[in-house]
A and B are shown apart, each in its own frame.
Chain A
Amino acid sequence: MRLHKRIDWFVLINNCFLVLVGLICLIPMIHILAVSFSSSAIAATGSVSLWPKGFTTAAYEFVAQREAFWKSILVSLQRVFYGGAINLLLTIMIAYPLSKEKGEFRFRTFYSWSFFITMIFGAGLIPTYMVIIQLGLIDTIWALVLPTAVPVFSVILMLNFFRMIPKELSEAAYIDGAGHWTTLWKIYVPVSLPSLATILLFSLVTHWNSWFDGLIYMNNPSNYPVQSYIQTIVVQRSFATMTPEEAKLMATISDKTLRSAQIFLGALPIICVYPYLQRFLVKGIVVGSVKG
């Protein structure tokens, strides 16, 4: 009890410091949200900080009327759907054979190295770009989905998980006459659902957040996924995707509130799934990535 007072001081300062650190991480998002709901005239003066001034939803109404914005959302949803499904399916189908012992699957080492090498050596931007062009994938959704069809990191997490499944399960299934295919879908997949959900969620987030491939593989801006679309509007500040009527209407709403609204909408789905992401974080990723 002698030390009671000193420890209290440390706790107090430490707690305040960490609250401050937490706020520094949130303030930029809060600021953008406040600007997006502010009146454009006030926002243009730069006097909005963390609470909307002259509350209005005009920026969101404008965005809601923009066909190009909704088109890009649609492309993103498509991409997330196909991309997530293909990532998950391939992860399962690659991880199962690789989780077998060498005695059971003699080519295991060959395949493992084939997949691993792509993690540590990349061909680089231009050769990949040329391959996509020559496969005729430019301006199709497949240019966004197929090049990243095999998420090698997820495969590694999953194969390590599959290995922890007791061998007795698959041996019993084998004796009952089940083949590999049945064993995988009836035994391995059902007991791995939480891990698979984690991998799926991270794959969905990655697909939603990707923007560079959309930018280079889509010649026609109407095929942009939403992050590429936001990139051109907010970062490049290009008006190529805007119709003349929209440009006129735009003059009545400040650039700043409009940009903020679109930034926030681009982040919104991530914020919505964030509680689930966070729940999986400590459990899944840490256990999988750093076993040492």
Chain B
Amino acid sequence: MQKKILNREIPLHLMILPGFLFLIIFSYLPMGGIIIAFQKFIPAKGLFGDQIWIGLKNFQYVMSLPNFNDIMWNTLYIAVMKIILGLLVPIVISILLNEVKNSALKRGVQTAIYLPHFLSWVVLGGIFIEILSPNDGLLNQVIKLFGFESIFFLGDNKWFPITMILSDTWKEFGYGSIIYLAAITGINPDLYESAQIDGANRWKQTLHVTLPGMQMVIVLLMVLNLGNLLNAGFDQIFNLYSPIVYQSGDILDTFVYRIGLLDAQFGVATAVGLFKSVIALVLVSVSYFVAYKVADYRIF
């Protein structure tokens, strides 16, 4: 009997084997490579080669850098603001969209707002660089039309973070609204009917029927977003920043790229990467655990 089960299981092992091998090579082998963080790493000697161990020196070096506090602050500030707006804007838009009775209009607006999500930050970066240009950019033309002075959105430390936050919200709010719309659609129509009989107007209905109906999904997404606390958006910032806005726009991921691949300080860059990964692991674990407790959310 035992043997029979085993025989039946062998094809399943074989089936999963190729994918599992890819996982070992491209995910777990690099995890082993994290030892670089504790070495004075010389690339020519190779990963797992005969390197000099220096303990926590790489971490101490990073912490001692004068701009490290700025980088941490930028990362947290941009990420937190993106999370907040990424929750609020889709909630408002989905509630407003749900009030639209003309289905052609509703579909048209949805088509327009989902599109930016699917475009890469290379394409959108190129577009934003044109549009936000201080001299001839479209947005500054409009600003000048109203009699204000043009703003150097991507070259002014005062404006750079807010530009990142708003342009990311612009890209993702449409996509974010899909889940909320689905949640609203799932609300029992009888609830609205009885609210109307009780004399509730549109605002009261939103407050007492729609929002409570969305509550579960909102809490769930809030919790799951906790894992993004250190993800300020590498793709976006890498394509839009420049040395003049490092002070306000440099984040952990762009910092890792520059010291690692440009300055070839592999050990230091790996140390920063590990720091980020460990915090992210803790945050994601906590958020999944809370999501499981609060919303019985399970991914598999």
Interface residues of A (CB under 8 A from B): 3, 7, 10-11, 14-15, 17-19, 21-29, 31-32, 35, 44-46, 49, 90, 93-94, 96-98, 100, 104-107, 111-112, 114-116, 118, 120-131, 133-135, 146-147, 149-150, 155-156, 159-160, 179-181, 184, 205, 209-212, 216, 227-228, 230-231, 234-235, 256, 259-260, 262-263, 266-267, 270-271, 274, 277-278, 281-282, 285-286, 289-292
Contacts and interface: CB of A to CB of B under 8 A. Distances in A.
Which residue of B19, B28, B136, B296 has the most chain A CB atoms within 10 A of its CB atom? B19
Contacts of B77: none
Given A32-B126, A131-B29, A150-B26, 17 more contacts: A10-B202, A11-B100, A22-B113, A28-B131, A94-B16, A97-B12, A98-B16, A104-B9, A122-B280, A123-B277, A127-B30, A134-B47, A209-B120, A266-B123, A286-B178, A290-B220, A290-B221
Nearest to A268: B123
Contacts of A289: 179
Interface string B242-268: 000000000001001100110000100
A interface SS class = helix
Contacts of B4: none
A46 B137 contact: yes
Given A97-B15, A286-B178, A130 B43 contact: yes
A181 B280 contact: no
14 contacts: A27-B138, A46-B135, A111-B20, A112-B300, A114-B20, A121-B31, A126-B266, A127-B30, A127-B47, A127-B270, A127-B273, A131-B30, A179-B11, A282-B178
Interface string B169-212: 01000100011011000000000000000000110000000000
Contacts, number: 288
A278 B138 contact: no
A17 B96 contact: yes
A15 B182 contact: no
Contact of A259 (B109, B110, B126): B126
Interface in B86-121: 93, 96-97, 99-102, 105, 108-116, 118-120
Nearest to B257: A125
B22 A90 contact: yes
Contacts of A267: 119-120, 123
Interface of B: 5, 8-9, 11-13, 15-16, 18-20, 22-23, 25-34, 36, 43, 46-47, 93, 96-97, 99-102, 105, 108-116, 118-120, 122-131, 133, 135-138, 141, 170, 174, 178-179, 181-182, 201-202, 216-217, 220-221, 227, 234-235, 238-239, 253, 256-257, 260-261, 266, 269-270, 273-274, 276-277, 280-281, 284-285, 288, 291, 295-300
Contacts of B130: 31-32, 35, 256, 259-260
Contacts of B25: 131, 135, 146
A292 B280 contact: no
Q: Report the 4 A-B pairs with minimum CB-CB distance, sorted nearest first.
A: A46-B136, A124-B273, A127-B33, A123-B30
A7 B300 contact: no
Contacts of A29: 115, 127
Contacts of B124: 28
